[in-house]
Amino acid sequence: RSLLYCLGSGIAGPIFERIENSGRCTALALLATGLSSFPIPFITNYYILVAVATLQGFMMGCLDCGGNYAIVQLHGGDGPEMQLLHFGFGLGAWLGPTAVGIALQFAGMSWAWAGVGVVHMAMGLVFCALPPLRKTTKPEPETETACEDLQRSPGHGINRVALIVFCCIFLLVYVGLETAVGNFLAVYGEMALHMSKETAT
């Protein structure tokens, strides 16, 4: 799932740039993620479960990249919109486990996954109804001049590549540790502190 998440994030950017209505791509990814959530509690074959989780990982990578792309396309690089998007990621990471834990406690595993699927599909239908995203206007002449001066500065290409490589390594380590520690805390609560699975989640 994580490997296909990386692949989805990597190839979604060029796809979104070449398609006029990128919102429809986001809707397709949301609907596919939602549909793949419903059968997960009932799958008993390991390889089928891997295939469904792989599809989900790929679509979620497309969603992550698509959300960032849509914000840049609509609002450019200025303003609080990108911060608001990532605040939403953080808020979901905080509220999501709580909601799933409550669903597991009162409704069971199948209903918890069904809730995840319903939320994704509802948002997918919303994106289907939205008008095509419109690109931002061209940057101001002062901004264009500053960018051209920066590109002509010595070492610009090397510095840019080094920054991109550093950011990729940082995100690789940070997100990997964040996911690993998050999963470890639930297991630790269940095994070492003898919590129920719902409470540990």
d(CA 41, CA 195): 22
Q: Which helix (H) or strand (E) holds 149?
A: helix 141-152
User: pLDDT digit string (tens) for 14-34?
Assistant: 887 787 777 788 888 889 989
**pLDDT recorded at residue 146:** 47
pLDDT the model gives residue 176 = 66
* CB contact burial 139-165 (16+ within 10 A = b; e otherwise): eeeeeeeeeeeeeeeeeeeeeeeeeee
Do the Cβ atoms of 81 and 136 come closer than 8 Å? no
pTM to 2 decimal places: 0.68
Count of alpha carbons within 13 angstroms of residue 180, beta-carbon side: 6
Query: Whole-angstrom Cα distance, residue 144 to residue 140?
Result: 6
pLDDT beneath 70: ranges in the chain = 76-79, 133-158, 171, 174-183, 198, 201
* DSSP letters for 75-94: HTTSSSHHHHHHHHHHHHHH
